[in-house]
Amino acid sequence: MPEGTGMKTSARRWLAAVTVTVALTAVACGDEEDPLSSGDGSSTEANSLVIGSANFPESETVADVYAEALRANGFDVSTKLNLGSREVYIPALMDGSIDLIPDYTGNLLLYLDNDATAKSADEVTAALTGTTQLVHPELALGTPAPGEDKDAVVVTRETADKWQLESIADLAPHSAEITFGAPAEFGSRPVGLPGLAANYGVNVSPANFVPIADGGGPATVEALRSGRINAADIFTTSPALEQNNFVVLADPLNNFPAQNVVPVMRSAKQSDKLRAVLDAVSAKLTTDALISLNENVSGDAKIEPEQAAKDWVAEQGLDQPIG
């Protein structure tokens, strides 16, 4: 795992502790219905699990997939879904509010180590494994799935034709004209606006950054389609790309690292049985499977994530005990 000086490492650990403290303070000040309130997550029994998700449909659907497969294998599962961004749910894992959540390898690595430079799937997985073992032993990883869902810079077909856009680099001459929509954290994350500036010379003014909190979901899509913004961060498995004839700009310098789906759990809850079930799910969770699940949930069918997950788990034979 890439490391800086001792002072830099200490500063990073201090910042992580402050982040957790702030997150816990925010939770304590919330109402009694706060999704991260104590309860199920405090159980130490190995077969009792609270599964969380981020605040976008794919994360919720994959969390439901985990839940259905684990229930079929005798686990007592409850869910706390739509928790928010990584800045919320990783501290929730660390404090025991949840026990398991689906995440994405590249962005998780950069969250845990903002000096990480790994880009390919193998490099990212190796670096992420090292980071969790050496710096965050309270977290444990399952086997990453072959399925990948990367962030992408997306524009409408009209904008692509007007500005002759093929690559993110082609946006650079139009920096002053860009109104960019993305989750608030995209404004400061290394793969967000700072990365676009450093790698491609795309400098978006803070005044032209529009925070949209749905993780590239319907609100972001509508803002792009309607012209409220003219560029957006949307995931590559979103059915909205094809539905709206949006254009995904090429990322030849890999500003966005590999993003394979990976189950992340509290170390205190890991077991051979839990890993076996999660590995069986991951083996079948291809990129095509992610696209299909997203189409069922966010496409014309509008199936609830829990039902879409149940259907997929049954289709894959994962509704039966493993082994």
User: What are the DSSP calls for 86-138, one per residue?
Assistant: HHHHHHHHHHTS-SEEEEEHHHHHHHH-TT----SHHHHHHHHHHHHHHT-TT
Q: Are 159 and 188 in contact (CB under 8 A)?
A: no
Claim to verify: residue 136 and residue 62 sit in the same structural domain: yes
The whole domain housing 234 covers 153-248
Q: Whose structure tokens read 């072959």?
A: 146
Measured in degrees and rounded to the nearest 5, phi and psi for residue 270 equal -70, 150
Q: Is residue 1 part of a domain?
A: no
Claim to verify: residue 97 and residue 206 sit in the same structural domain: no
Domain count, the chain: 2
**pLDDT, average across residues 103-124:** 94
Claim to verify: residue 81 and residue 144 sit in the same structural domain: yes
pLDDT digits (tens, 9 = 90+) for 150-201: 999 999 999 999 999 999 999 999 999 999 999 999 999 889 999 999 999 9
At position 272, the amino acid (one-letter code) is D
CA dihedral sign, ordered 131, 251, 149, 240: positive
Measured in degrees and rounded to the nearest 5, phi and psi for residue 50 equal -110, 120
Of the residues 248, 273, 289, which one is the last residue of a structural domain? 248
pLDDT score of 36: 53
pLDDT digits (tens, 9 = 90+) for 242-294: 999 999 999 999 999 999 999 999 999 999 999 999 999 999 999 999 999 99
Angle between helices 105-112 and 86-95 (to 10 degrees): 70
Claim to verify: residue 144 and residue 157 sit in the same structural domain: no
pLDDT score of 8: 34
Distance CA 131, CA 129 (A): 5
Radius of gyration of the chain (CA): 20
- Strand (E) or helix (H) holding 233: strand 231-233
Half-sphere exposure of 198 (CA within 13 A, CB side): 11
What CATH number is associated with residue 127? 3.40.190.10
pLDDT cut 70: percent of the chain above it? 86
Checking if the pLDDT of 1 tops 50, the result is: no
CA dihedral sign, ordered 45, 58, 254, 169: negative
What CATH number is associated with residue 189? 3.40.190.120
Angle between helices 57-71 and 272-284 (to 10 degrees): 130
Joined together, the tokens standing for residue 11 give 């500063």
Checking if the pLDDT of 10 tops 90, the result is: no
User: What are the DSSP calls for 13-27, one per residue?
Assistant: HHHHHHHHHHHHHHH
Claim to verify: residue 160 and residue 197 sit in the same structural domain: yes
Distance CA 191, CA 251 (A): 11
Claim to verify: residue 17 and residue 142 sit in the same structural domain: yes
Residue 323 confidence class, pLDDT cut points 50, 70, 90: confident
pTM assigned to the model: 0.75
pLDDT score of 141: 97
Of the residues 248, 272, 303, which one is the last residue of a structural domain? 248
Distance CA 88, CA 81 (A): 12
Q: Are 112 and 253 in contact (CB under 8 A)?
A: no
Is residue 31 classed as helix, strand or coil in its secondary structure?
A: coil
Claim to verify: residue 131 and residue 161 sit in the same structural domain: no
Of the residues 196, 219, 248, which one is the last residue of a structural domain? 248
Claim to verify: residue 168 and residue 302 sit in the same structural domain: no
State in Å, rounded, how far the first CA of the chain is from the last one: 35
Q: Is residue 254 part of a domain?
A: no
Other C-beta atoms lying within 10 Å of the C-beta of residue 48 = 16
Joined together, the tokens standing for residue 9 give 């490492």
Checking if the pLDDT of 19 tops 60, the result is: no
Is residue 292 classed as helix, strand or coil in its secondary structure?
A: helix
Claim to verify: residue 112 and residue 232 sit in the same structural domain: no
